[in-house]
């Protein structure tokens, strides 16, 4: 079965103050338990804010290193999952369910991409 990487994109500047509510975290935990029991979830995790990150860039034969935050970025990767699904439609369904766990105060995008196994 194919594997899919889902990148969770958020706008750090417009995320709810204080981060996820306890109720949202409970709903998230229940969904993660369900997807794990279904044998679909291979790995998942959230990322620390960009202010704690570093970008390493290669251009013109030179490396540059920039510490966060990355203020020019409107949308950043806030987390990821790797799933093994029967097809892309199933991966999209799980991503949609993940998005619905968030309250209306959140703006979140999931980018679902199949891993190149070849």
- Report the residue count for the chain: 118
pLDDT tens per residue across span 10-43 = 988 888 888 899 999 999 999 999 999 999 999 9
Q: Indicate if the pLDDT at residue 1 is higher than 90.
A: yes
As a whole number of angstroms, the distance between CA 113 and CA 4 comes to 5
**Long-range Cβ contacts of 66-69 (<8 Å, 24+ apart):** 69/12
- Domains delineated in the chain: 3-114 (3.30.70.1060)
Pairing relationship of beta strands 3-10 and 108-114 according to DSSP bridges: antiparallel
pTM for this prediction = 0.88
Q: In the predicted model, what is the mean pLDDT of residues 39-56?
A: 94
């Amino acid at each position: 079965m194919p594997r899919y990487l889902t990148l969770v994109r958020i706008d750090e500047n417009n995320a709810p103050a204080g981060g996820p509510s306890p109720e949202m975290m409970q709903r998230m935990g229940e969904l993660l338990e369900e997807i794990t029991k279904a044998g679909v979830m291979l790995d998942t995790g959230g990322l620390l804010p960009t202010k704690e990150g570093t970008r390493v860039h290669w251009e013109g034969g030179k490396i540059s290193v920039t510490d966060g935050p990355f203020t020019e970025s409107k949308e950043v990767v806030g987390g990821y999952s790797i799933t093994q699904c029967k097809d892309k439609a199933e991966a999209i369904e799980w991503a949609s369910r993940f998005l619905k766990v968030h309250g209306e105060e959140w703006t979140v995008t999931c980018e679902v991409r199949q891993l190149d196994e070849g």
